[in-house]
Amino acid sequence: MAITEQEMSHEQMKLHESKGFVCKVCGAPVLVVWGGSYNIEGYLLKCCKSIEHTGVARYFKLGVMDTPDGLNIGNMSRIRRRNLEKRIGEEKATALAKYSGAGYLTKEEATEIITTVWPDASKIEVLKASIVCAQYGLNPLMKHLYLIPFDKKKKNEKTGQWETVSTTYAMVLGIKASRIIARRRGEYAYLDDTPRIMTTEEQMKIFGEVDVADICAITRLQDRKGNTAIGTGRWPNSQTVQGADKGNNKLNMAMIRSERQALERLFPDSFPTEVKDVVDERFQEIGGGKQVDTNTGEIIETARPSLDPKNPPDIVEGELVEPAKTPETAPAATTATTPTPEAVKDESVVTPEQLKDIAALLKEANVTEAELGKFCNKEQKWAIKKFADLKAWQYEEVKSYLNKAAGK
Ligand SMILES: [Zn+2]
């Protein structure tokens, strides 16, 4: 039976029609029609062949930028070159320009690219990535495959500071590259408006429980022969995502993980087994190395995608100690004071006197308002807009933080 307005708004129906959704049953286009002739008051989204067919699907199509240069049209290589300069800088882009749109690289060509883009990666990491590129037709310059640096941190017992002892690189695939790999095996379509967030019913059915710690997403796929596959993906609620300022979010990360799993299930043995995780290349720059905060000189750990703690990559063999504890939270713990127990928290707002105290302490500790804001919202995650919003218990935390900074 066609989809009625009880299941989908008229607006959504029109969007499905314009985006080229097709019938899940027969693959024919779906159309928005008035239900009058079927004795239904309201619009329908129906298969153009049969009112009996239920469900919509959307086929994955390659974009012009996804195809190698041999199939290019217009000035695609000039656009590629410009993008490449933006991504890795002019000097490296000049050296690697001949590979910017190459769909298939030899191992040696891949090695040249990888050592230029990630000069600090070890020989074995470069070798592994080069083999994967050559074997699966991937090009790092087209944002197919990334090496993501991970710092192994250790707490210096003398200073109490977290220090980097070594850096290892984990290979991850872009989600687009995953779609391209799958597409080479056959046509496939996304069913039932997936990827999307999982309903609690779906979680109960698939996991046997409702996951409250993570955001969970689901993807349903179908190939031309009618084979289907379901994938699920999770992203921890507590973990930030890279590219949040550009529109990335936790649900998106959960969705691409679910999509990757579904693609692997629909096309088994098509993906490199040594690459476990996936990133969204729209929010992932190729980058040469670590990203450093120019204000403080500190390395921004959140700028890197953290791998799924439930499914850590095995290619870093014991180098990633406690993968569940991302470096992002570890160093913060050294400056955060013990939180006041819930029961005794004083929720009253700060007094003008207390605000004056803060102002004086800021001067004394030589801490800027911006830095204090970072402490409040980034480390403590309070989400306050101005210091006058601080609660009495938060004021105590701020005071002890500033006293410490002042060396008291
Ligand atoms: Zn149909």
Cβ atoms of residues 99 and 141 within 8 Å = yes
Burial 238-269 (b: 16+ CB within 10 A, else e): ebbbbbeeeebebbbbbbbbbbbbbbbebbee
Residues present in the chain in total: 408
Distant-in-sequence, close-in-space partners of 72: CB < 8 Å, separation ≥ 6: 64, 101
Confidence of residue 404 (pLDDT cuts 50, 70, 90): confident
Tell how far the Cα of 175 is from the centroid of ligand 1, in angstroms. Answer: 29
Q: How far is the CA of 252 from the centre of ligand 1 (A)?
A: 30
The confidence score (pLDDT) of residue 165 equals 81
How does residue 64 score in pLDDT terms, banded at 50, 70 and 90?
Answer: low
Give the distance (Å) from ligand 1 centre to CA of residue 232: 27
Higher-confidence position of 315 and 394: 394
Choose between 168 and 45: higher pLDDT. Answer: 45
pLDDT bin (cut points 50, 70, 90) of residue 172 is: very high
Name which of 12-16, 326-330, 341-345 the model is least confident about.
326-330
Which residues lie closer than 8 Å to 306 by C-beta, 6 or more apart?
239, 326, 328
The first and second tokens of residue 389, run together, are 């919003």
CA dist., res. 207 & res. 74, Å (int): 49
Write down the pLDDT at residue 287.
62
What pairs with residue 74 in β-bridges?
Answer: none
Q: What is the pLDDT of residue 113?
A: 94
pLDDT classification of 297: cutoffs 50, 70, 90: very low
Percent of residues in the chain assigned helix, strand, coil, to nearest 5: 40, 20, 40
pLDDT score, position 306: 39
Most confident of 45-49, 159-163, 303-307: 45-49
Read off the pLDDT band of 197 (50, 70, 90): very high
pLDDT classification of 73: cutoffs 50, 70, 90: low
Ligand 1 centroid–CA 258 distance in Å is 26
- C-beta neighbour count of 335 within 10 angstroms: 14
Q: Residue 173 belongs to what H/E stretch? A: strand 162-174
Give alpha helix (H) positions in 235-384: 250-266, 329-335, 352-365, 369-374
Mean pLDDT check: name the lowest of 193-197, 290-294, 399-403.
290-294
Mean pLDDT of 331-354: 53
Where does the pLDDT of residue 199 fall: very low under 50, low under 70, confident under 90, or very high at 90 and above? very high
Question: What separation in Å is there between the alpha carbon of 48 and the centre of ligand 1?
Answer: 7
Cα 25 to middle of ligand 1, angstroms: 5
Distance from the alpha carbon of residue 197 to the mean position of ligand 1, in angstroms: 26
Q: Compute the distance between CA of residue 328 and CA of residue 66 in angstroms, rounded to an integer.
A: 33
47 CA from centroid of ligand 1 (Å): 5
Confidence at residue 72, expressed as pLDDT on a 0 to 100 scale: 52
More confident of the two residues 309 and 408: 408
Please write the tens of the pLDDT for every residue from 343-380: 456 777 787 778 888 888 888 887 877 788 888 777 78
Question: Residue 43 above 70 pLDDT?
Answer: yes
Bigger pLDDT: 383 or 148?
Answer: 148
Residue 298 confidence (pLDDT) above 60: no
Question: How many helical (H) and strand (E) elements, i.e. helices and strands, does the chain have?
Answer: 12, 12
Q: How far is the CA of 51 from the centre of ligand 1 (A)?
A: 8
Report pLDDT for 35.
Answer: 92
Q: Quick one: average pLDDT of 232-258?
A: 93
- What average pLDDT does the structure give for the chain? 80
Query: Which of the pair, 294 or 301, is modelled with greater confidence?
Result: 301
- C-alpha 175/C-alpha 253 separation (Å) is 10
CA dist., res. 353 & res. 382, Å (int)? 21
- Which contacts of 324-333 are long-range, i.e. CB under 8 A and separated by 24 or more positions? 326/239, 326/301, 327/150, 327/151, 327/153, 327/162, 327/301, 328/239, 328/240, 328/301, 328/302, 329/238, 330/153, 330/162, 331/153, 331/161, 331/162, 331/301, 332/378, 332/379
Domain chopping of the chain, boundaries: 3-58, 336-405
Question: Is pLDDT of 317 > 60?
Answer: no
Whether the Cβ atoms of residue 305 and residue 232 lie closer than 8 Å to each other: no
pLDDT at 322 over 70: no
For ligand 1, the distance from its centroid to the CA atom of residue 30, given in whole angstroms, is 8
Residue 52 has a pLDDT of 92
Cα 66 to ligand 1 centroid, rounded to whole Å: 30
Tell me the CA–centroid distance for residue 3 and ligand 1, in Å: 12
pLDDT value, residue 304: 38
Q: Which pLDDT belongs to residue 67? A: 67
State which H helix or E strand residue 214 sits in: strand 214-223
